[in-house]
Amino acid sequence: MADRNAKIYASRLVKGRYGELRQLAEANPPLVEAVNLQDALVESVRDQLELASEFISAARNLLASGSNSRFDIDHRNALSRAYYGIHHTVRAVVRYAQHYDPYGHPTSIDAFIDVAGDKRAIGAKLTARFGDLKAASRRLKTIIEERHHSDYDPYGASEIKELPLDIQKAAISVIEDAEAVHDAAVNYLRTEGVIK
Protein backbone atom coordinates (compact mmCIF):
# COMPACT_ATOMS: atom_id res chain seq x y z
CA MET A 1 0.00 0.00 0.00
CA ALA A 2 1.32 3.44 -0.93
CA ASP A 3 1.93 5.91 1.86
CA ARG A 4 -0.29 8.98 2.25
CA ASN A 5 2.31 11.41 0.85
CA ALA A 6 2.80 9.34 -2.29
CA LYS A 7 -0.98 9.25 -2.85
CA ILE A 8 -1.24 13.01 -2.30
CA TYR A 9 1.49 13.68 -4.84
CA ALA A 10 -0.03 11.18 -7.27
CA SER A 11 -3.45 12.84 -6.92
CA ARG A 12 -2.10 16.31 -7.74
CA LEU A 13 0.03 15.58 -10.80
CA VAL A 14 0.24 18.31 -13.40
CA LYS A 15 0.13 17.37 -17.08
CA GLY A 16 3.46 16.11 -18.33
CA ARG A 17 5.08 15.96 -14.87
CA TYR A 18 4.58 12.33 -13.81
CA GLY A 19 8.36 11.92 -13.72
CA GLU A 20 8.56 14.42 -10.84
CA LEU A 21 6.85 11.94 -8.52
CA ARG A 22 9.56 9.43 -9.34
CA GLN A 23 12.20 12.06 -8.50
CA LEU A 24 10.55 12.68 -5.12
CA ALA A 25 10.78 8.98 -4.33
CA GLU A 26 14.42 8.81 -5.46
CA ALA A 27 15.57 11.99 -3.68
CA ASN A 28 18.08 11.72 -0.86
CA PRO A 29 16.40 11.66 1.59
CA PRO A 30 13.23 10.50 -0.19
CA LEU A 31 10.34 12.96 0.04
CA VAL A 32 7.86 10.14 -0.41
CA GLU A 33 8.24 6.54 0.66
CA ALA A 34 9.88 4.48 -2.07
CA VAL A 35 6.86 2.61 -3.38
CA ASN A 36 5.73 1.49 -6.75
CA LEU A 37 4.57 4.80 -8.14
CA GLN A 38 1.94 3.13 -10.26
CA ASP A 39 0.49 1.71 -7.03
CA ALA A 40 0.29 5.23 -5.57
CA LEU A 41 -1.42 6.46 -8.72
CA VAL A 42 -3.89 3.55 -8.77
CA GLU A 43 -4.70 3.92 -5.06
CA SER A 44 -5.31 7.66 -5.47
CA VAL A 45 -7.63 6.92 -8.42
CA ARG A 46 -9.55 4.33 -6.37
CA ASP A 47 -9.86 6.75 -3.45
CA GLN A 48 -11.12 9.57 -5.64
CA LEU A 49 -13.61 7.27 -7.36
CA GLU A 50 -14.87 6.18 -3.93
CA LEU A 51 -15.21 9.85 -2.93
CA ALA A 52 -17.19 10.44 -6.13
CA SER A 53 -19.46 7.51 -5.28
CA GLU A 54 -20.10 8.93 -1.82
CA PHE A 55 -20.99 12.33 -3.29
CA ILE A 56 -23.50 10.65 -5.62
CA SER A 57 -24.94 8.57 -2.77
CA ALA A 58 -25.29 11.71 -0.64
CA ALA A 59 -27.08 13.40 -3.55
CA ARG A 60 -29.55 10.50 -3.77
CA ASN A 61 -30.17 10.68 -0.01
CA LEU A 62 -30.75 14.44 -0.14
CA LEU A 63 -33.17 14.01 -3.03
CA ALA A 64 -35.06 11.30 -1.15
CA SER A 65 -35.35 13.46 1.96
CA GLY A 66 -37.32 16.01 0.01
CA SER A 67 -37.21 19.68 0.62
CA ASN A 68 -39.89 21.87 2.00
CA SER A 69 -37.76 24.93 2.66
CA ARG A 70 -38.51 28.10 0.76
CA PHE A 71 -35.32 27.79 -1.29
CA ASP A 72 -35.40 24.02 -1.79
CA ILE A 73 -32.08 23.50 0.02
CA ASP A 74 -32.04 19.69 -0.03
CA HIS A 75 -32.54 19.59 -3.80
CA ARG A 76 -29.94 22.33 -4.31
CA ASN A 77 -27.47 20.34 -2.21
CA ALA A 78 -28.38 17.15 -4.08
CA LEU A 79 -27.61 18.80 -7.41
CA SER A 80 -24.33 20.18 -6.10
CA ARG A 81 -23.21 16.87 -4.55
CA ALA A 82 -24.07 15.02 -7.78
CA TYR A 83 -22.03 17.51 -9.78
CA TYR A 84 -19.04 16.96 -7.49
CA GLY A 85 -19.52 13.22 -7.98
CA ILE A 86 -19.04 13.87 -11.70
CA HIS A 87 -16.07 16.17 -11.12
CA HIS A 88 -14.20 13.66 -8.98
CA THR A 89 -15.04 10.81 -11.35
CA VAL A 90 -13.68 12.56 -14.44
CA ARG A 91 -10.52 13.68 -12.62
CA ALA A 92 -9.85 10.11 -11.43
CA VAL A 93 -10.20 8.73 -14.96
CA VAL A 94 -7.91 11.35 -16.47
CA ARG A 95 -5.32 10.86 -13.74
CA TYR A 96 -5.24 7.13 -14.43
CA ALA A 97 -5.32 7.33 -18.24
CA GLN A 98 -3.11 10.39 -18.75
CA HIS A 99 -1.06 10.55 -15.51
CA TYR A 100 -2.11 14.06 -14.55
CA ASP A 101 -4.90 15.81 -12.67
CA PRO A 102 -6.71 18.42 -14.78
CA TYR A 103 -8.31 19.85 -11.59
CA GLY A 104 -10.27 22.74 -13.16
CA HIS A 105 -13.93 22.12 -13.91
CA PRO A 106 -14.28 22.65 -17.71
CA THR A 107 -10.68 21.49 -18.18
CA SER A 108 -11.48 18.21 -16.41
CA ILE A 109 -14.47 17.62 -18.66
CA ASP A 110 -12.45 18.32 -21.82
CA ALA A 111 -9.69 15.94 -20.69
CA PHE A 112 -12.26 13.27 -19.76
CA ILE A 113 -13.95 13.52 -23.16
CA ASP A 114 -10.52 13.18 -24.80
CA VAL A 115 -9.91 9.98 -22.80
CA ALA A 116 -13.41 8.73 -23.68
CA GLY A 117 -12.58 9.22 -27.36
CA ASP A 118 -9.59 6.91 -26.92
CA LYS A 119 -11.14 4.37 -24.54
CA ARG A 120 -14.13 2.46 -25.88
CA ALA A 121 -15.12 1.26 -22.40
CA ILE A 122 -15.99 4.87 -21.51
CA GLY A 123 -16.91 6.31 -24.90
CA ALA A 124 -19.55 3.69 -25.69
CA LYS A 125 -21.35 4.21 -22.38
CA LEU A 126 -21.26 8.00 -22.70
CA THR A 127 -22.52 7.80 -26.27
CA ALA A 128 -25.37 5.53 -25.15
CA ARG A 129 -26.35 8.06 -22.47
CA PHE A 130 -25.78 11.38 -24.26
CA GLY A 131 -25.88 10.57 -28.01
CA ASP A 132 -22.23 11.31 -28.80
CA LEU A 133 -19.14 12.65 -27.04
CA LYS A 134 -19.77 16.26 -28.10
CA ALA A 135 -23.24 16.06 -26.59
CA ALA A 136 -21.75 14.51 -23.44
CA SER A 137 -19.29 17.39 -23.17
CA ARG A 138 -22.04 19.98 -23.64
CA ARG A 139 -24.24 18.31 -21.04
CA LEU A 140 -21.46 18.03 -18.45
CA LYS A 141 -20.59 21.71 -18.95
CA THR A 142 -24.28 22.63 -18.68
CA ILE A 143 -24.33 20.81 -15.34
CA ILE A 144 -21.62 23.20 -14.13
CA GLU A 145 -23.95 26.10 -14.95
CA GLU A 146 -26.87 24.35 -13.23
CA ARG A 147 -24.73 23.85 -10.13
CA HIS A 148 -23.85 27.55 -10.18
CA HIS A 149 -27.54 28.49 -10.38
CA SER A 150 -28.34 26.05 -7.62
CA ASP A 151 -25.55 27.22 -5.32
CA TYR A 152 -25.46 30.95 -6.05
CA ASP A 153 -28.83 32.12 -7.35
CA PRO A 154 -31.77 32.14 -4.90
CA TYR A 155 -34.23 32.33 -7.79
CA GLY A 156 -32.57 29.73 -10.04
CA ALA A 157 -31.32 32.26 -12.60
CA SER A 158 -28.65 34.93 -12.68
CA GLU A 159 -30.27 37.19 -15.26
CA ILE A 160 -33.80 38.42 -15.83
CA LYS A 161 -33.89 36.94 -19.35
CA GLU A 162 -33.07 33.43 -18.11
CA LEU A 163 -35.75 30.93 -17.33
CA PRO A 164 -35.34 29.90 -13.71
CA LEU A 165 -33.92 26.46 -13.13
CA ASP A 166 -36.40 23.93 -11.76
CA ILE A 167 -34.12 22.80 -8.93
CA GLN A 168 -35.85 19.50 -8.16
CA LYS A 169 -36.09 18.44 -11.81
CA ALA A 170 -32.47 19.48 -12.43
CA ALA A 171 -31.28 17.59 -9.34
CA ILE A 172 -32.92 14.38 -10.58
CA SER A 173 -31.35 14.76 -14.02
CA VAL A 174 -27.89 15.61 -12.70
CA ILE A 175 -27.94 12.61 -10.34
CA GLU A 176 -28.87 10.31 -13.22
CA ASP A 177 -26.08 11.80 -15.34
CA ALA A 178 -23.61 11.48 -12.46
CA GLU A 179 -24.49 7.81 -12.07
CA ALA A 180 -24.03 7.25 -15.82
CA VAL A 181 -20.63 8.97 -15.86
CA HIS A 182 -19.54 7.07 -12.76
CA ASP A 183 -20.72 3.76 -14.26
CA ALA A 184 -18.76 4.49 -17.45
CA ALA A 185 -15.65 5.23 -15.38
CA VAL A 186 -16.06 2.09 -13.29
CA ASN A 187 -16.51 0.04 -16.47
CA TYR A 188 -13.27 1.45 -17.92
CA LEU A 189 -11.25 1.13 -14.71
CA ARG A 190 -12.50 -2.43 -14.25
CA THR A 191 -11.29 -3.36 -17.75
CA GLU A 192 -7.92 -1.84 -16.79
CA GLY A 193 -7.76 -3.93 -13.59
CA VAL A 194 -7.80 -0.83 -11.36
CA ILE A 195 -10.96 -1.92 -9.56
CA LYS A 196 -12.47 -5.34 -9.12
Asked if residue 11 belongs to a domain, the reply is no
Residue 184 lies in a domain: yes
- pLDDT-based confidence at 144, cuts 50/70/90? very high
Within a domain: residue 76?
A: yes
**Domain CATH number, residue 88:** 1.20.120.330
Report the pLDDT averaged over residues 142-151. Answer: 94
Q: What is the mean pLDDT of residues 150-168?
A: 85
**Cα angle for residues 170, 184, 124 (degrees, 5° grid):** 105
When pLDDT is averaged across residues 28-42 and rounded to a whole number, the result is 69
Tell me, yes or no, whether 12 lies in a domain. Answer: no
**Do the domain assignments include residue 52?**
yes
pLDDT, tens digit (0-9, with 9 covering 90-100), for 58-71: 999 999 987 677 78
Say if residues 38 and 45 touch (Cβ distance below 8 Å).
no
Q: What is the pLDDT at residue 190?
A: 96
**What is the 3 state secondary structure string of 38-58?**
HHHHHHHHHHHHHHHHHHHHH
- 43-98: pLDDT as tens digits: 999 999 999 999 999 999 999 987 677 788 999 999 999 999 999 999 999 999 99
Would you say residue 19 lies in a domain?
A: no
Range of the domain at 81: 36-191
Domain count, the chain: 1
